[in-house]
Amino acid sequence: MPDLAGKTVIVRADLNVPIDDGRVTDATRLSAAVPTLATLADRGAKVLVLSHFGRPKPGDRSLSLAAIAPALSDVMGRPVGFVGECIGPEAEAAVAAMAPGSILVLENARFHAGEEGNAPDFVAALARLGDFYVNDAFSVSHRAHASTEGLAHVLPAFAGRSMQAELDALEKALGKPVKPVAAVVGGAKVSSKLDVLLHLVARVEHLMIGGAMANTFLVAKGVSVGKSLAEPGLADVALDILARAEKAGCTVHLPYEVVVAKEFATHAPHRLVNVFEVADDEMILDIGPAAVEAFADALKTCATCVWNGPMGAFEMAPFDAGTVALARVAAGLTASGQLLSVAGGGDTVAALNHAGVADDFTFVSTAGGAFLEWMEGRVLPGVAALERD
């Protein structure tokens, strides 16, 4: 990067953090922005932090980033200012008054329709504030918005530290991984991860399917799953995925031992059964210990693992046991140097935190939609804009 002393750098960060009663309840995304912001400020740049916050309706200014600036200041351990606009005279005056090495949060970019519309006039108004653009928000880079894609075409553009770490990890997980590769995929619906599964079967040696989406595959194979959440209408699609996997040399692992209950509730009466023993009034809520062991045995033969989604209803004890046990196996293999593990997606991060192993994975992405689209093999506009010549 060129000499930054006295220059103004616009950093697209992800400050879309949860707030309760005016206080930030999870500062993970703020912490992720610190290395880039601190480095730029320490090099004498005026640092402008650009972000969206929530989904404000036209004319609604209640979703302001004003409450986020003090929280970012606390995380950084240095002053962080705020200006109540992100374009126009007010923003331009605030930038002109900045001292080199200072940091300023701009108001919610989504207060302007031009942000999500990637409008050229809005992009131009943003660009007038800075000399350089840095995208440090992989989590929103699947959107071709003004602050995530448009600015990269009108200012010299670079990837931030967090963005680079994410891209490096993803490249090692599926771009150019050390083989064999395992993919652990869970969650509720096959329909929401259809493209993910189709993309993975051609790229991994082992595909382990858990969660309610495994039920759809079991139904496709003629197994009765009782009252379990499933998508019988996608049985043909599931069989097609299995056929493609076989043709590609990918082994698909489905749970053959499951935990069932008659009600969806914490500590509901439950029993451990073979998948062929699920009663008509029961639902599958977790994978059983034997299934965990079978998945773990396959995982132990692999060098790389990409993980998205829980193995069961992990929010409710005791139906969190399968997810926790398998996550701990992956974490242990990572700690011993046998496995490179990359995980992502909202429920996935929550599940790994619940298991107490998020810090033991090689990399855990906090990106939701962007991580899923990457797993689908899609081009992410915000990333592609940085890769242009």
**Which two three-digit tokens encode residue 116?**
């999500």
Question: Of 3-17, 37-51, 184-198, which range is least confident?
Answer: 184-198
Give the residue ranges of the annotated binding site for (2R)-3-phosphoglycerate. Answer: 29, 110, 143
Provide the CA 33 distance to its chain's centre, in angstroms: 15
Contacts of 288 (CB under 8 A, 6+ apart): 255, 257, 258, 259, 272, 273, 322
List, for residues 11-22, the tens digit of each pLDDT value: 999 999 988 888
In the annotation, is 346 catalytic? yes
Helix, strand, coil percentages for the chain (3-state, nearest 5): 45, 15, 40
Choose among 76, 19, 18: nearest CA to 49. 76
User: Going along 87-189, which residue ranges are E strands?
Assistant: 103-106, 132-135, 157-159, 181-185
Please report the sign of the dihedral spanned by the C-alpha atoms of residue 209, residue 211, residue 216, residue 220: positive
Q: The pTM is what?
A: 0.87
Please report the sign of the dihedral spanned by the C-alpha atoms of residue 318, residue 320, residue 326, residue 330: negative
Q: How far apart (Å, rounded) are the C-alpha atoms in residues 288 and 260?
A: 9
Q: Which of 43, 78, 172, 189 is catalytic?
A: 189
In the annotation, is 44 catalytic? no
Residue 346 phi, psi dihedral angles, 5° rounding: -55, -55
Write down the mean pLDDT value for the chain: 94
How far CA 5 is from CA of 10, 47, 82, 136, in Å, comes to 14, 11, 21, 20
Q: How far apart (Å, rounded) are the C-alpha atoms in residues 154 and 151?
A: 5
Domain range summary for the chain, segments of one domain joined by +:
8-159, 167-375
List, for residues 21-65, the tens digit of each pLDDT value: 888 988 889 999 999 999 999 999 999 999 999 999 888 888 999
Give the residue ranges of the annotated binding site for substrate. Answer: 14-16, 29, 52-55, 110, 143
Q: How far apart (Å, rounded) are the C-alpha atoms in residues 70 and 129?
A: 22
What is the mean pLDDT of the segment spanning 92-97? Answer: 97
In the annotation, is 288 catalytic? no
Q: Which of 101, 346, 368, 377 is catalytic?
A: 346
Give the residue ranges of the annotated binding site. Answer: 14-16, 29, 52-55, 110, 143, 193, 315, 345-348
Q: Is 176 helix (H, G, I), strand (E, B) or coil?
A: coil
In the annotation, is 43 catalytic? no
| Residues 335, 361 contacting (CB under 8 angstroms) | no
Looking at CATH, the fold of the domain delimited by 8-159 is given as: Rossmann fold (3.40.50)
| Residues 177, 52 contacting (CB under 8 angstroms) | no
Domain 167-375 superfamily per CATH = Phosphoglycerate kinase, N-terminal domain (3.40.50.1260)
Q: Which of 12, 29, 46, 203 is catalytic?
A: 29
| Residues 172, 340 contacting (CB under 8 angstroms) | yes
Q: What is the pLDDT of residue 28?
A: 85
Are 8-159 and 167-375 equal in CATH topology? yes
Q: Which of 44, 332, 369, 377 is catalytic?
A: 369
Q: What is the pLDDT of residue 1?
A: 58
